[in-house]
Structure 1
């Protein structure tokens, strides 16, 4: 049961290490020639599953206490061809990133392997990665013609290079092909019409691997990866920056809660992840960025203060840069003055839940004026929403961690009202420390 915040919030916080970078650091550390040190690794359920997967593939991963955080790990990589055939199914839990990236690596190895997750993961489409991998020569099968897990790599290794245009903006698809290309003969070229998050490319650069990125004349990027003649992957050291998606919940709280100021320190500021900050600025948010580092990822501090916001039509070119933040953005839009329109976000339909349906279901229950469309939603905001009548409300996460946390934030903003949210254990998927921070807030 969530109760509203009793007054303004003044808070400096740090969020756990970025989940997307943590996945990739574990994977590329396992493929490196030697010992890599990763600090501030995310210990979310998803990232623990990635550690377990690589241990099952024969990689020695040890927790160290180098900084006192309990989140330092040494990965003893065995090189590109050092993985062993797993003796049982690899459990990818609820993680689309783990499933889609790992199958690219497994496709490059000459052994049998099977990936399967929970009921939510196994209902998410995978043909977007199995199709290009098949073009490279991998033999992969799964439910409904290889479109849904469990997925089995029947024949890997001996991949050929390809030219591939990514049909929808997807860093997961791009990264899957990049990882498979490490094992392929020749140079693989990927064209993405809209540039997406580039964590895989940044880590490969850190490892000294030849990756070339060029701007295409029609827009977007051409990414060229040398195959198995490109050399090995060097071991590396990295401190994982704070997860921006995790930070976004508290950014929203600081902007929407009167008399509040919240600073999130040492957080990822990759411009392909922070599209929501551009939109918040356009809506009138009081926020400042301080950049403290640039390589291999931009890192810094974000300070936000309570702001009166105006509704907005989200530009289509920004959608992929804030795709994970739309659940919490819907909370922000609910308190903005006027109409907010989101279109071109059909990818939300195939996340951990159908996020468009989940957003509309929950906000309608609260009393928000919201209309569903095939590729988004429209909200008529109400800055006084938190003053609405004190009727208890029951919400549902639909097993989706970002829906769950977004509805917790909404519950904190609704004064004189009790909010019950079903199935919030899924929050551990990405942010097990979430309620530790929430517990620092003053509540009624």
Structure 2
């Protein structure tokens, strides 16, 4: 099923096009500006883009040229068509050109007439691992395991430290499997408010709760026919884990407020940065759900165990920065030893940030001395809190979280690392506690 991205600052136009495109067999995402379009492309690269030439935050044609989406086709839209704009659109590689107000018959004809190139199985196999960059033995073993499990229907549990690329590995499994041409939908379970996560996963009917002014399509619906990636599965509330287990066992789900079951034609890939057995023993993950998810567990190697992949990845990130900013900066000769010596507790994410910071600071040559690796203070050693017998688990968690934040001088990212949770989970907890930055924890 081809995927369409509609980029227009008028919601009514986006909604109209989405309805028609769904009838023509497309999955659809919409964006009101270039920034939102970039976010949507990172979530799921489109096969076709309907793109307004004039957007609130930039020029549509320039945005298209800068993105250089391989294999995607673009149809430009404009309310002020001229010969020059049409010629420019064709030069930019447009598959077609639509004039506003858009003729519905013309729109249907354009969507039905888009020609997609035949699938080259060899190129597809190569592209599955395009984002899994590295030559180390550990990464080669990971690729081998992905190739083995991808064609099956087995549920996969990815285990690895933060920043090791679990979402990239999940997408590789999706692309290497039979559902490669269907949606890949990533969901960060720790980034959704506990009060909304059930509605976000399964959707809800209009009027099912206060504020439900219209029906909402959940992630299971959006991933139909494809793959649903549940990241940070241990952050999912226990009561929702029961519902997820039921869906995995029965193959059906019910939207919030709904009466009729829907079939979940979805492959599940889950991930956690915790030790899953330890998470089970601590009550963060149901044991029955753990066994249902870990039909085929895969461990992602940390960067420190990937030999010289750290140098290859650092060069890749620098090449991307040079290409996007039209520069020719380079690493100092002695930086390779620095890259090898550092343990990289934040893994690939930390390495990317390190290269980016040094790129910003450097004139032409990136030196290891330009920027310290560690930029946060450690909490005071020996700090203790008192948890009285009989205190509820929720109150104890609140006390531990707020004290850890105070010991981290209010640096939320560092407090999250100390607590072993994601930053977004910490933000959700602080919002639940009514914590404000100006308050003392």
- Report the TM-score when normalising by structure 2: 0.31
Higher relative contact order (CA 8 A, sep 6+): 1
Greater share of strand residues, 1 or 2?
A: 1
Greater share of helix residues, 1 or 2?
A: 2
Higher CA-based Rg: 2
